[in-house]
Amino acid sequence: MVKLVFLGPPGAGKGTQAQIIAESYQVPHISTGDILRTNVAEKSPLGIQAKEYMDQGDLVPDELILDMVQKRLENPDAQNGWILDGFPRTVTQAEEFVKKLLSTGTNENDTEGEEAKISNSFNVINLQVPDDILVARLLSRGRQDDNEETIKNRLQVYYQQTQPLIEFYQGRQQLISIDGNHSVDVVTNSLKQAVEKSI
């Protein structure tokens, strides 16, 4: 079963690669950024709350994100695997995520053993791309939150709040690092090889 988290700074190619891998393994591509943008466009209560953070390049509060992801993972299409793109993005999200996975149909008497099992049930792809390349890629993308000011903030937010997850998942033997500084096809090939090895 393919269960992967895509980690990496903004502009690393997470969205593009997550989409390709999701299609080839027939699992849903769950991008928290995409779900949030849909909510913003629909002016839903979540969208209205999330918009101010997104416009600044800041992270949307953990509670909102955790609820949103939990609901999405309850969908029937997510019962046989998933690709999470852009979540978790903080250590709190990662810890709460494991707790939520634990709370669905597991053995309460063996939390530690169960936790290890859950950790083993998904891998985390760390797409690595140098900073100068990231900025150039983001500037050429032209999304609403891709202006120079916001980009700087998003990178800073990434290094402060998301990068600690690399160590978090490395310590749990879940991390697979991939060099993302190549063409889309070359990166896809290394990803597929890594995924094949992991399943």
| Smaller CB separation from ligand AMP, 54 or 176 | 54
Please give the angle made by the CA atoms of 94, 135 and 153, to the nearest 5 degrees. Answer: 55
Stretch of 56-64, 70-78, 121-129, 185-193 lying at the interface with ligand AMP (CB under 6 A): 56-64
**Residue 57 CB, nearest approach to ligand AMP (Å):** 5
How far is residue 93 from each of residues 9, 62, 86, measured CA to CA in Å? 16, 6, 11
* Cβ-Cβ contacts under 8 Å for 6 (sequence gap 6 or more): 14, 17, 18, 83, 84, 85, 86, 124, 125, 127
User: What is the C-alpha to C-alpha distance for residues 187 and 129, in angstroms, rounded to an integer?
Assistant: 11
| Smaller CB separation from ligand AMP, 72 or 89 | 89
| Smaller CB separation from ligand AMP, 58 or 193 | 58
Identify residues 114-173 at the interface with ligand AMP (CB under 6 A).
Answer: 154
Q: Annotated catalytic, 154?
A: yes
The yes or no reply on residue 29 touching ligand AMP (CB under 6 A) is no
| Smaller CB separation from ligand AMP, 47 or 81 | 47
User: What is the C-alpha to C-alpha distance for residues 123 and 56, in angstroms, rounded to an integer?
Assistant: 30
> In terms of residues, how long is the chain?
199
Which residue, 19, 29, 99, 28, is CA-closest to 66? 99
The yes or no reply on residue 36 touching ligand AMP (CB under 6 A) is yes
Q: Annotated catalytic, 137?
A: no
Which residue, 95, 96, 69, is CA-closest to 83? 69
Of the residues 3, 37, 72, 89, which is catalytic? 89
Binding site for ligand AMP (CB under 6 A): 10, 32-33, 36, 53-54, 57-60, 65, 86-87, 89, 93, 154
Which of the residues are catalytic?
14, 89, 141, 143, 154
